[in-house]
Amino acid sequence: MAALDAVKPPIWFWIVALLALAWEVMGCFAYVSQVGMSAADIAKLPADQQEIWQMMPGWVTGAYAVAVWIGLLGAIALVARKSWARPLFIVSVVAAIAQFGWTFLATPILKTMGASAALFPAVIILIGLLLVGYAGHATRRGWLS
C-alpha cells in the first residue's frame, strides 16, 4: 500500500473515476429497467420496436448484462485504484460491441428508426474505449496497483 500512496493521482483522476462510476450505474439502471419490462410494457412500444424486441436472443441480453455489470466493477476498481479496472473495461466494451453488433446487423433497426438509432450506442462504445485507455494511462502513471 505504501507504493500506491507514494504516487497520488491528481484531482482530475478522481473526477473521471467518479464520473465513470456514475455512468456505469446509469447503465445498470437502464439494464434493470429493460429486463424488467412486462409484456404490457412491451405492448406499448411501436410495432417495429416490438418486433425487434421479440427477435432478441437471450445471449444479447446476456451480453448487455456483462457490458453493464462488468463495467460497473471496472469503475469500482478504478475508484479503488486497482489495475484490474482496465481488463474489466475491456470485457465490458467487447460485450457492448457484441450486443450492439447483433442489434444493428440482425435487426431492421436502422430501417425502422433511422441512422440516429446508432448515435447513442456509438457514444456508449466510445466512452467504454476511453475508459479502457484511461485505466491503462492511470496504471502506467502508477495511480493504480
Cβ atoms within 10 Å, residue 36? 8
Q: What is the 3-state secondary structure (H, E, C) of 81-132?
A: CCCCHHHHHHHHHHHHHHHHHHHHHHCCHHHHHCHHHHHHHHHHHHHHHHHH
Residue pointed to by grid coordinates 483522476:
13
The 10s digit of each residue's pLDDT in 60-95 is 999 999 999 999 999 999 999 999 999 999 999 999
Report the predicted TM-score, pTM, of the whole model to 2 decimal places.
Answer: 0.91
Q: Quickly count helices (H) and strands (E) in the chain.
A: 8, 0
User: How far apart are the C-alpha atoms of 20 and 104, rounded to whole Å?
Assistant: 26
